[in-house]
Amino acid sequence: MTPASDLVADVIAAVGTRAEAEALADVGSTALTRFANSFIHQNVSEDVSTVSLRLALDGRIASATSTVTTPDDVHRLVTSALQLASLQPVDPDWPGVGEAVEQPVVDHWDEATAAADPVARAETVRRFVDAGEGLSAAGYCETAAHSTAYLNTRGRTGSGRYTTATLDGIQQTESSAGSGHASGVALGSIDAGAIGAQASGRAEQSRGAFDAKPGDYEVVLSPECVATMTIFLSFYGFNGKAAEEGLSFVELGERRFDPAIQLWDDATDPRALHLGFDAEGTPKRHLGLIESGVTTHLLHNRRTAAKAGTTSTGHAASGADAFGAFATNLFVGEGAETVEDLVSGVERGIYVSTFNYCRVLDPKSLVVTGLTRNGTFMIENGRITDPVTNLRFTQSFIDAWADGSVLGIGGDARFADSEFGPSLVHAPSMRLASWRFTGGAEG
Amino acid sequence: MFDEATLAVQAALDAGAAYSDARVVVARQETINVQNQNLTEFDRTETAGVGVRALIGSSWGFASTPHLDHASVRAAGERATEIAKASALVPGSPMEFADVPIEQGSWETPFEENPLDVSQSEKVDLLVGVTATAQEVDGVAIATGNLTFWDTDVWFVSSQGHRLHQHRVESGGGFDATAIGESETQRRSYPQSFGQFETGGYETVRAWDYQGNARRIAEEAVALLTAAEMEERETALVLEGSQLALQIHESVGHAIELDRILGWEAAFAGTSHLDLATLGTHRYGSEIMNITADATLPGALGTFGYDDEGTPAQAVDIVKDGIWVGVLSGRDSAAIAGLPPGGMVRADGFSRLPMVRMTNVGILPGAGSLGDIIADTDDGVYMATNRSWSIDDKRLNFQFGCEIAWEIKNGELGRMLKNPTYTGITPQFWGTLDRIAGPDEWVHWGTPNCGKGQPGQIAHTGHSASPGRFSNVRVGVRA
């Protein structure tokens, strides 16, 4: 396979002095072993070699992406993009490509994960399945190893590599299910037996669930639920494009949340995943988004930053200008309490293991509807009692973290799965004063 | 490209596979986005590669590569078999592979104008013009337009003798206008949320008259800011066709996927409330509910010649007179269930494993018109164009939000209502279907963004529908 750095060099060399241009290449492999009914039913491996080119010809912009990377293909890619650009209207908001910058040293890489073969993934799956002791297991184990390179015509460069490993699964009885999840840089750091046992414990505990009456309840949310709340707040609220267009709730400097809430994005954290630069070659750094309940910064790519009169924060995603800036290394500040501590303070409430199928009703008020899944329980007099069937909620995620609403934060932060996928948010459990459940199994 | 596919299959067999198939896919996509009259994206993406499946016993392996040189193609075939052997470390029960006609042939989407050959300026000008018209309406903060086109060639070869070539052309797009209030946003879209997509060429875009609808859509977005909130109650609900299409997609289309029914999607997309033991007897809805899965409908987005296992496109009954009678299936899932294979297995490009996907799952038309249905309604609401959708993992408990609604009083549309939502439980809801409009308002709505699978796949599905009415529906749910 041609290295990513060679691909971007070939593309920028082919553009020459004919246009302002930037190229991003991704080379590597992703493999995923999927299981259901306690056996491996889908098992895939994908070689990846992609190069994307964006260029500006006198302010006229076009982009092209290709998986074909021979010298002839590169020439065709560049010729096509130049021809496309020549026929476009001038883009008045084109910010130009960035100047050369020093990149931070970020290397979230594990050699053993990069070399993981299908047998290693199958053995991980087997440990998860066996932990269910006869329950019906389903889920997946994924490993990925990628190298990425960036180069533009102003000499900005970036290169990096990353590995990721994820195990996500459920154990099912005939009437209930429980989930478990882990993700990180190294497959070796994932204790598949423990995650499978957690899932089976939740599934067993969920047998015989009853229909709880919809209404407002105090809740204790797992890291998965908090991760989904966080990614929605980030995507719809802290996205610089949404803010510029008036679609976001964020007013910088405003105390919008409970003082217990801390939220930041940091690809340089040793615990983080993925790359140290974005799709425009901008270095990533620690960026506070909520500090003691106060909104402090927005996420920007070069386009949104230029419109806001500031600089990019390193949150450009490839081909995502229509959506704006996107954070992929979010950290929610954790507390010191255990889940038992959080539950112990609740007189009557509900514990939620995961949210499912969350959708925004209005992006500005961030009212979201979704359901609970894979383990929902009543909390009575400080302890988890009976399982309840899945509930539908319709809740503003902003209001849920409002001043006075955050009653406790766990010390159990980890990379949790979210509505937008795994490995994006490092989140703890959280106790919240009120959550509006608007329907149950009977509607 | 047949040579590369054949080479991959042979390599998988040489490595020990009992069965193998391979798809070489060359896919071209053009995406154009305009916001407030400015072109924000003009992108062309071309992907090419081969994906190989290998089967040993009941264990599958799949490998893909973007490199089409012979060494890389052979390596992909060998790797697919190696992965299948690893799958056997956590094996399932012995599996049959349902018989299908072994064909050698070709198929192409009928189209008049290849969208990639239409001039760039015409396409950009259309979107710039539409957003300009929308922005002429006071109060419109954001107007966006999109066009997306796909031109895809697939060469399929199997170790059983399949040798098929398909050329699919898909086109579509749309626009929306957003008005922003103190603490809310209101949006209207046309032809539907996310645009309308069909198989065919640029002629499908021309047919929707974006420009002629731009001012109306913009005015509705602004009017919604001052419209009344819908009160929470149970009432008659009339759904516009594209919203009924999404209702079918979510509460019927996914529920009848055989892989979900068999538990293969349990951890992610979910399962289904349907039990195969009740196929043929389970009442899904009222007697006027007739749903088909028809991959042969001309112009519909889920139309093709052969699925990605080489099975010819079919039209099958799913719900007949309100009774559940059919599923969406592939060769392995159908064999396990003891049902005929439906030819409904598709993959998102060369690098993804084919899996059970919707084709064109739609409701057959009834009689009369939307106007007739409204005239026949004493008290109710009419909702149009999806804004949000959420449904549980068994496809039972759903809540939808629409962009706009009007109250219905004494057979006439009344006040405009904002933030409309409705919620229900699938079989109870469909059981209250009491009117479905006739063939004159029957449209092949297209969904270009159906997500499923791990790694994630996006499918293009079709849902034919005309407006319909449901009774005693809970509407107006909000935080």
Same domain, B17 and B60: yes
Q: Other CB atoms closer than 10 Å to residue B207's CB: what's the count?
A: 12
Q: Which domain holds residue B361?
A: 229-475
Residues of chain A found within 8 Å of residue B78, distances taken between Cβ atoms: none
Q: What percent of chain A has pLDDT above 70?
A: 99
Copy the structure tokens of residue A424. 């994006």
Residues of chain A found within 8 Å of residue B72, distances taken between Cβ atoms: 47
Q: How far is CA B467 from CA A142, B212, B237, B383, B409, in A?
A: 43, 22, 11, 10, 18
pLDDT band at A413 (very low <50, low <70, confident <90, very high): very high
Counting as low any pLDDT under 50, the low residues of chain B are none
Q: A118–B38: do the CB atoms touch at under 8 Å?
A: no
Burial A214-247 (b: 16+ CB within 10 A, else e): beebbbbbbbbbbbbbbbbbbbbbbbbbbbbbeb
Please state the rounded mean pLDDT for residues A380-392: 96
β-strand partners of A218: A349
Residue B346: name the closest of B77, B6, B23, B66 by CA. Answer: B23
Please state the rounded mean pLDDT for residues A195-208: 96
CA–CA min distance B129, chain A (Å):
13
Separation between Cα atoms, residue A150 and residue A9, nearest integer Å: 9
At B441, phi and psi to the nearest 5? -115, 20
Residues of chain B found within 8 Å of residue A365, distances taken between Cβ atoms: 183-184, 479
User: E strands along A307-399, which residues?
Assistant: 330-332, 348-362, 367-380, 383-387, 392-396
Same domain, B176 and B324: no
Copy the structure tokens of residue A441. 């199994």
Question: Contact, B353 vs B304, CB < 8 A?
Answer: no
Task: Give the domain-ending residue among B163, B194, B226.
Answer: B226
Separation between Cα atoms, residue A252 and residue A233, nearest integer Å: 14
CA–CA min distance A49, chain B (Å):
7
Separation between Cα atoms, residue A193 and residue A223, nearest integer Å: 20
Q: Quick one: angle between helices A4-15 and A71-86, nearest 10?
A: 50
Q: A40–B421: do the CB atoms touch at under 8 Å?
A: no
pLDDT band at A442 (very low <50, low <70, confident <90, very high): low
Of B76, B183, B388, the CB nearest to A361: B388
Copy the structure tokens of residue A439. 């329907």
For residue A161, give the 3-state DSSP assignment. Answer: strand
DSSP state of A408: E
Preferred mutation among B390, B402, B428 to probe A, highest tally of A CBs within 10 A:
B390
Please state the rounded mean pLDDT for residues A219-223: 98
Same domain, B389 and B442: yes
Residues of chain A found within 8 Å of residue B79, distances taken between Cβ atoms: 45
Q: A88–B142: do the CB atoms touch at under 8 Å?
A: no
Same domain, B339 and B423: yes
Preferred mutation among A1, A29, A43, A127 to probe B, highest tally of B CBs within 10 A:
A43
Q: B454–A34: do the CB atoms touch at under 8 Å?
A: yes
CATH 3.30.365.10 is the classification of domain A4-202: no
Residues B269, B98, B249, A317, CA torsion sign: positive
Secondary structure of chain B in the HEC alphabet? Answer: CHHHHHHHHHHHHHCCCCEEEEEEEEEEEEEEEEECCEEEEEEEEEEEEEEEEEEECCEEEEEEECCCCHHHHHHHHHHHHHHHHHHCCCCCCCCCCCCCCCCEEEEECCCCCCCCCCCHHHHHHHHHHHHHHHHCCCCEEEEEEEEEEEEEEEEEEECCCCEEEEEEEEEEEEEEEEEECCCCEEEEEECCCCCEEEECCCHHHHCCCHHHHHHHHHHHHHHHHCCEECCCEEEEEEECHHHHHHHHHHHHHCCCEHHHHCCCCCCCCCCCCCCHHHCCCCECCCCCCCEEEECCCCCCCCCCCECCCCCECCEEEEEECCEECCCECCHHHHHHHCCCCCCCEECCCCCCCCEECCCEEEECCCCCCHHHHHHCCCEEEEEEEEEEEEECCCCCEEEEEEEEEEEEECCEEEEEEECCEEEEEHHHHHHCEEEECCHHHCEEEEEEEEEECCCCEEEEEEEEECCEEEEEEEECCCC
CA–CA min distance B136, chain A (Å):
17
Q: Quick one: angle between helices A118-131 and B70-87, nearest 10?
A: 20
Residues of chain A found within 8 Å of residue B43, distances taken between Cβ atoms: 62-65, 319
Of B44, B66, B265, the CB nearest to A49: B66
Of A119, A139, A359, the CB nearest to B390: A359
DSSP state of A333: P
Residues A186, A189, A193, A195, CA torsion sign: negative
Q: What is the pLDDT of residues A14-58, one digit of tens each?
A: 999 999 999 999 999 999 999 999 999 999 999 999 999 999 999
By DSSP bridging, strand A157-172 and strand A39-57 are unpaired
Q: What is the CATH number of the domain that holds B87?
A: 3.30.2290.10
For residue A41, give the 3-state DSSP assignment. Answer: strand
Residue B367: name the closest of B420, B438, B300 by CA. Answer: B438
By DSSP bridging, strand B361-363 and strand B379-391 are unpaired
Residue A230: pLDDT above 90?
Answer: yes
Same domain, B109 and B220: yes
Separation between Cα atoms, residue B232 and residue A366, nearest integer Å: 20
Q: B120–A43: do the CB atoms touch at under 8 Å?
A: no
Residues of chain B found within 8 Å of residue A362, distances taken between Cβ atoms: 184-185, 419
What total number of domains does chain B contain? 2
Same domain, B314 and B215: no
Average pLDDT, chain A: 95
Separation between Cα atoms, residue A308 and residue A304, nearest integer Å: 6
Q: What is the pLDDT of residues A103-139, one digit of tens each?
A: 999 999 999 999 999 999 999 999 999 999 999 999 9
Residues across chain A? 443
For residue A336, give the 3-state DSSP assignment. Answer: coil
Separation between Cα atoms, residue B144 and residue A237, nearest integer Å: 20
Beta-carbon contacts of B216 under 8 Å, excluding residues fewer than 6 positions away, are none
Residue A100, Cβ density class (10 Å: 0-12 exposed, 13-18 middle, ≥19 buried): exposed
Residues B386, B388, B392, B398, CA torsion sign: negative
Residues A9, A13, A17, A22, CA torsion sign: negative
**ipTM, 2 dp:** 0.94
- Note if the bond before B455 is cis, omega within 30 degrees: yes
For residue A103, give the 3-state DSSP assignment. Answer: coil
Residue A355: name the closest of B449, B392, B451 by CA. Answer: B392
Separation between Cα atoms, residue B84 and residue B98, nearest integer Å: 19
Q: A394–B399: do the CB atoms touch at under 8 Å?
A: yes
Q: How far is CA A267 from CA A166, A284, B104, B129, B373, in A?
A: 18, 6, 51, 41, 56
Separation between Cα atoms, residue B460 and residue B359, nearest integer Å: 8
Same domain, B219 and B114: yes
Residue B398: name the closest of B425, B418, B368, B364 by CA. Answer: B425
Of A49, A125, A394, the CB nearest to B477: A394
At B304, phi and psi to the nearest 5? -155, 180
Question: Contact, B52 vs B12, CB < 8 A?
Answer: yes
Q: Which sequence spans correspond to the domains of chain A?
A: 4-202, 209-443
CA A434 to chain centre: 25
User: E strands along A269-363, which residues?
Assistant: 287-291, 294-295, 330-332, 348-362
Separation between Cα atoms, residue A44 and residue A31, nearest integer Å: 6
Could you tell me which residue, A362 or B350, shows the higher pLDDT? B350
Element housing A170 (H / E): strand A157-172
Question: Contact, B23 vs B49, CB < 8 A?
Answer: no
Q: Other CB atoms closer than 10 Å to residue B332's CB: what's the count?
A: 24
Q: Identify residue B92 by its one-letter amino acid code.
A: G
Same domain, B416 and B399: yes
Beta-carbon contacts of A309 under 8 Å, excluding residues fewer than 6 positions away, are none
Of B44, B59, B93, the CB nearest to A84: B44
pLDDT at A441: 67
| Residue in A closest to B265 by C-alpha | A36
Residue A125, Cβ density class (10 Å: 0-12 exposed, 13-18 middle, ≥19 buried): buried
Preferred mutation among A362, A373, A398, A436 to probe B, highest tally of B CBs within 10 A:
A362
CA–CA min distance A336, chain B (Å):
31
Of B42, B263, B351, the CB nearest to A88: B42
Same domain, B255 and B207: no
Separation between Cα atoms, residue B207 and residue A327, nearest integer Å: 39
- Note if the bond before B191 is cis, omega within 30 degrees: yes
pLDDT at A443: 62
Separation between Cα atoms, residue A303 and residue A286, nearest integer Å: 20
Same domain, B87 and B25: yes
Same domain, B89 and B16: yes
Residues of chain A found within 8 Å of residue B66, distances taken between Cβ atoms: 47-50, 67-69
Please state the rounded mean pLDDT for residues A334-358: 97
- Give me the helices (H) in A374-413, please: 397-400
Same domain, B202 and B322: no
Residues A425, A431, A435, A439, CA torsion sign: positive
Q: Give the CA angle between residues B304, B296, B394 to the nearest 5°.
A: 85
Question: Contact, A301 vs A312, CB < 8 A?
Answer: yes
Question: Contact, B361 vs B248, CB < 8 A?
Answer: yes
